[in-house]
Amino acid sequence: MTADRTEPKDPVADTPYGAVRGRWERGVAVFRGIPYAAPPFGAHRFRPPVPPEPWDGVRDAGAFGPTAPKPPYSEAFAQYLSDPVVPGDDCLNLNVWTPEPGPGARLPVLVWLHGGALTRGSSAVPVYDGQAFARDGVVFVSVNYRLGVEGYGLFPDTPPNPGLRDQLAALRWVHDTVAAFGGDPARITLCGQSAGAISTGALLAAPQTQGLIRRAVLQSGPPEAAERDKVRRMVRRMASRLRIPATAQAFAEVDRELLLRTQAEVGRLSSPVLGGPAFGVVVDGDLVPRDPLQALLDGEAATGVDLLMGWTRDEYRLWLVPGGLVDHVDRLGPVALAGAMARCHVGHEVPRGYRTLHPGAGPAETVGQMVTDHLLRLPLHRLAEARPGSSYLYEFAWPSNRPGLGACHALELGFVFDTGEGPDAARLAGAGAPQELADAMHGAWVRFAATGDPGWQPWDDTHPVRVLGDGEPRTVSGPRDEEFALWNPGAPPPHPERTAELALAVRRLRRSVAAVRRH
């Protein structure tokens, strides 16, 4: 790329591949669309990332770079979630917000991995604006990475997890380069929500990240590895529809838009509640040598890393409220509960215990909270138990002003980023989100990135959890211990005949949901 003449008023920073020119915005220097790897197409498609081509002169970094290929949200979800598309191939890029560009400042750094089920989302989502973090003395970096089949398809002719390898390349870029933007490479906090938190957990357990991460934040997503067969089924179903072999070479020859449409169609009934084939991080013997949660529980990785982890009170409502599925699950009653038992690999004792603890809850709430605990809260609870003294847990409890959402999945983001006044945060929160809650949450994340202490008691045998949004912020001992006690990880699985019966219930539930979505 040829040089553009740099205006003196614009901030300029050096990267390993050339200088970049940002913009001053509200007292903060912002650099957008900086490439950390080459465009992942052509010879690089479905392959691990490689360095970008260096450029001469000063590259303009005033606008967000291209976003990774992704299908749009369905109409039901699009009313709640913003997902901008920036066209172009150079989608392996990142953005930096900093109060003090240039070496010498040594400020704490927060690296953000967005959510979106590894199929949607980008760093250009307005809620993820890093201005407030930089305003408060943190160098904030947000990352784009490959999504869906491009980033997490499992093929016999390419290495697994290219999307996760993108994130590793970005993390290395930050470690090697952030000092030029005023950051301290010894104080990097890796932070993500939902799929971004799952990615954060996988990177925490990766041998290649040792020494790169000082702290980590996992919001509504546990360290986990997806079943390889689950990912293979997604790829094979796509291949069957496209009438091609299930190889990276064959997929690379398919029109990109057709690939996205096929991916969306094959995955339309997959969800945290319903299960089904989906993309995910898989054990690959290299970057992910074993299940990330087990590696972290065994103390094999991320020793000395401080952890901030938590969930929202009503995670499941974002999965079931759009499109009216929550009412449909309530009507299905026993079928929905049987489906949840199959999803969670438990017998009748667990839903029976939930109904005893919450006698006013309907089937949708019971199913939603069971699945949330199984997939998300219990793993984070186990991780805190394995790392007392350096783990901090929270529960976000403020109910949205939008009908039916409650304290749903992703609602906390506008408060963490202190971007709640924007129209995109209002898609989930509605009007009138409390600024004092944003002050409390954003301030806690800033303190954690700077010091490793968000401002409340670390995990110990009293099980302290910071409750945010239900009155004044307060620390509660074991608010979900009774639910967690219902789960017995050592119990034998249901009898094979019972397992088949429950699996049939899941299929009936998916067919019923499909009928609702068609109409």
Determine contact, residues 142/101, Cβ cutoff 8 Å: no
Helix or strand or coil: residue 380?
helix
Sheet containing 23-25: order of strands = 23-25, 28-35, 93-98, 139-143, 107-113, 183-193, 215-219, 306-312, 391-396, 464-469, 471-477
Could you give the residue ranges of the DSSP H alpha helices within 26-114? 75-78
**pLDDT value at residue 502:** 52
Catalytic positions are: 194, 315, 409
What mean pLDDT value characterizes the chain? 93
Helix or strand or coil: residue 362?
coil
Model confidence at 436, in pLDDT bands (50, 70, 90)? Answer: very high
User: What is the share, in percent, of the chain residues with pLDDT greater than 90?
Assistant: 87
H/E segment holding residue 471: strand 471-477
**Which residue do the tokens 């990267």 mark?**
15
Question: How far, in Å, CA of 288 to CA of 327, rounded?
Answer: 39
User: What is the share, in percent, of the chain residues with pLDDT greater than 70?
Assistant: 92
Residue 434 has pLDDT above 80, yes or no: yes
DSSP assignment of 285-328: SSSS-S-HHHHHHTT-S-TT-EEEEEEETBTTHHHHTGGGHHHH
Q: Which tokens sit at 481?
A: 């211990």
Residue 517 has pLDDT above 90, yes or no: no
Residue 510 has pLDDT above 80, yes or no: no
**pLDDT value at residue 339:** 87
Determine contact, residues 97/131, Cβ cutoff 8 Å: yes
**pLDDT value at residue 192:** 98
Average pLDDT over residues 407-419: 98
* The amino acid at 426: A
Question: How far, in Å, CA of 454 to CA of 466, rounded?
Answer: 10
Query: DSSP letter at 121?
Result: -
* The amino acid at 7: E
pLDDT digits (tens, 9 = 90+) for 361-381: 999 999 999 999 999 999 999
CB burial of residue 343 (10 Å; 0-12, 13-18, 19+):
buried
Average pLDDT over residues 44-68: 98
Model confidence at 500, in pLDDT bands (50, 70, 90)? Answer: low
Average pLDDT over residues 425-444: 97
**CA angle, 270 as apex, 152 and 509 as ends, to 5°?**
160
**pLDDT value at residue 271:** 80
Bridge-based pairing of strands 28-35 and 471-477 is unpaired
Average pLDDT over residues 421-444: 96
Q: What does the buried/exposed string (b/e) look like for 166-183 if buried means 16 or more CB atoms within 10 Å of the residue's CB?
A: bbbbbbebbbebbbbbbb
Average pLDDT over residues 500-514: 57
Diameter over CA atoms, the chain: 73
Average pLDDT over residues 289-305: 96
Residue 27 has pLDDT above 80, yes or no: yes
- Distance between alpha carbon 328 and the CA centroid of its chain, in Å? 27
Nearest to 97 by CA among 183, 175, 165: 183
Bridge-based pairing of strands 107-113 and 139-143 is parallel
CA atoms within 13 A on the CB side of 283: 13
**Which residue do the tokens 């998916």 mark?**
510
Least confident of 8-17, 125-134, 433-442: 8-17
**CA angle, 220 as apex, 264 and 68 as ends, to 5°?**
40
Residue 11 has pLDDT above 60, yes or no: yes
pLDDT digits (tens, 9 = 90+) for 61-114: 999 999 999 999 999 999 999 999 999 999 999 999 999 999 989 999 999 999
Question: How far, in Å, CA of 416 to CA of 429, rounded?
Answer: 13
Determine contact, residues 215/189, Cβ cutoff 8 Å: yes
pTM of the predicted structure, to 2 decimals? 0.94
Contacts of 471 (CB under 8 A, 6+ apart): none
Fold of 12-518: Rossmann fold (3.40.50)
Model confidence at 6, in pLDDT bands (50, 70, 90)? Answer: very low
**pLDDT value at residue 199:** 98
**pLDDT value at residue 3:** 47
Average pLDDT over residues 292-304: 95
Q: What does the buried/exposed string (b/e) look like for 215-228 if buried means 16 or more CB atoms within 10 Å of the residue's CB?
A: bbbbbbbbbbbbee
Model confidence at 513, in pLDDT bands (50, 70, 90)? Answer: low
pLDDT digits (tens, 9 = 90+) for 299-351: 999 999 999 999 999 999 999 999 888 998 999 999 889 989 988 999 999 99
Model confidence at 2, in pLDDT bands (50, 70, 90)? Answer: very low
